[in-house]
Structure formats: structure tokens, C-alpha cells
């Protein structure tokens, strides 16, 4: 609290919420200042845009998985946080199955309209859910969706979770890399999926090919 009061930086809504949760601040006991209201409005606009980008990616990936692999995928439910502020996921973004034997699968989707996806965007809960899936012999993977500035699909990388963890460790050891950037796309090439003529296309060498059903085509 003292640190916040001694700095010229305005507290974020999350900071105020944390203080309120700790009983150090009653948000209802005073009105927000003009500056705090402006910052809160900007934060909410940013959060709304971020949520829209995330939902765009999730819908895209869900449609791809269901059409191409002929299995139903569902979004994991969310529940209110214990303090009533916001919601928490109960699992990764998408839950479903792959292959003739309907092997259980979990998919975490990360979507960006920039040229960067931070490893830290996979929070500790998401990492725990994916680790549990690997331990339970489920198919655990991440979909990295890259959009353009108009939020139109460019391409995506669909990568097994264990491969992404290994890449994270390699990049960290090589040059302290904490994000996947444009320069790293070459490393991700084996996991790349593109659209051609409105259809998702990936090569026969892609790891997902093992789980194709029907005619075995590599385009939906």
C-alpha cells in the first residue's frame, strides 16, 4: 500500500482489486479519481479487445479440429472466482478427442495480431492442466494462431505441449528467449498450418496426420 502511494504511477484495476481482497482498501468507500476512471476505461477497452482476439482464435481452432478430425470439441467451462471478481477456467481452452480410438485430447489456444507470443502467456494453471494431460497419456497440444492487424487468419502452429516446452528450454538456454517471434517461425515450420482457398492445409509430415479420419486428405 505504501509503495503504491509513494509512486506517481496510478494503480491498475487489478491492483485495486488485490488490495480490496486483502482488506486494505474498500473500493466502495470512495469514488475513483478522473485519472483512475480514464485508466480503468482504457484497461477495459484493452481487455475487451484482447478477449475478442482470444475468442476469434478459439472459434477458428475449434472449427478446424471438428471439421478436419470429425470429433466434437468443446470449450472448457469457466467459474466465478472465489472473490466474485472475474472468472477462472477449469481446464485448457478446448477439450476433445482425436483418432479412431477417440483418444482424449486437450488444446490451449494462444492468439495474437502481432508477431509475438510470450511463453508467459501460458499461465501456471494452463501448464498444470497440460502436464496432467501428458501424464494421463492424453494428447496435449497448443495452437498458436497468428492474425493480421485486421484480425484475419495468417497461419497457425499446432505443436505438442512437450515439444513446445522443449523449445522454450532451448531458446532460454541459447539467448534467453522468452517469446516466440517472427525470427522463430522457421523453428516452428514443422507445425505450421495454412489456409489455401479457404481450406486448412498441412503436409503429410505434420504430427496431426496420424489422427486423420475418413479419406486421409490433409485439407479440410
- What pLDDT sits at residue 52? 72
Number of H helices, E strands in the chain: 5, 11
Write down the pTM of the prediction. 0.74
The residues facing 94 across adjacent strands are 75, 107
The residues facing 112 across adjacent strands are 146
Q: CATH number for the 31-211 domain, one of 3.40.1350.10, 1.20.120.50, 3.40.718.10, 3.20.20.70?
A: 3.40.1350.10
Phi then psi for 205, rounded to 5 degrees? -80, -10
Q: Where are the domains positioned within the chain?
A: 1-30, 31-211
Tens digits of residue pLDDT in 107-136: 999 999 999 999 999 999 999 999 999 999
Tens digits of residue pLDDT in 161-194: 999 999 999 999 998 989 999 999 999 999 999 9
Task: Compute the residue count for the chain.
Answer: 220
Using a pLDDT cut of 90, give the percent of the chain over it.
Answer: 60
pLDDT range class, residue 213, cuts 50, 70, 90: confident
Amino acid at each position: 500500500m505504501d509503495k503504491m502511494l509513494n509512486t506517481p504511477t496510478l494503480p491498475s484495476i487489478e491492483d485495486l482489486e488485490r488490495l480490496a481482497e486483502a482488506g486494505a482498501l474498500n473500493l466502495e468507500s470512495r469514488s475513483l479519481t478522473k485519472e483512475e476512471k480514464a485508466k480503468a476505461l482504457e484497461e477495459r477497452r484493452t481487455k475487451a479487445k484482447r478477449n475478442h482476439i482470444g475468442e476469434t482464435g478459439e472459434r477458428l481452432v475449434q472449427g478446424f479440429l471438428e471439421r478436419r478430425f470429425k470429433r466434437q470439441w468443446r470449450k472448457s467451462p469457466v467459474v466465478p472466482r472465489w472473490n466474485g471478481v472475474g472468472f477462472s477456467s477449469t481446464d485448457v481452452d478446448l477439450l476433445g478427442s482425436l483418432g479412431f480410438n477417440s483418444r482424449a485430447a486437450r488444446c490451449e489456444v494462444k492468439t495474437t495480431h502481432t508477431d509475438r507470443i510470450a511463453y508467459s502467456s501460458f499461465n501456471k494453471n494452463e501448464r498444470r492442466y497440460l502436464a496432467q494431460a501428458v501424464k494421463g497419456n492424453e494428447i496435449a497440444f497448443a495452437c498458436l494462431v497468428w492474425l493480421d492487424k485486421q484480425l484475419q487468419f495468417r497461419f497457425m502452429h499446432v505443436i505438442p505441449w512437450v515439444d513446445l516446452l522443449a523449445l522454450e528450454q532451448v531458446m532460454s538456454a541459447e539467448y534467453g528467449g522468452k517469446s516466440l517471434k517472427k525470427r522463430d517461425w522457421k523453428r516452428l515450420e514443422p507445425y505450421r498450418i495454412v489456409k489455401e482457398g479457404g481450406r486448412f492445409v498441412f503436409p503429410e509430415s505434420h504430427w496431426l496426420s496420424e489422427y486423420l479420419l475418413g479419406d486421409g486428405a490433409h485439407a479440410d
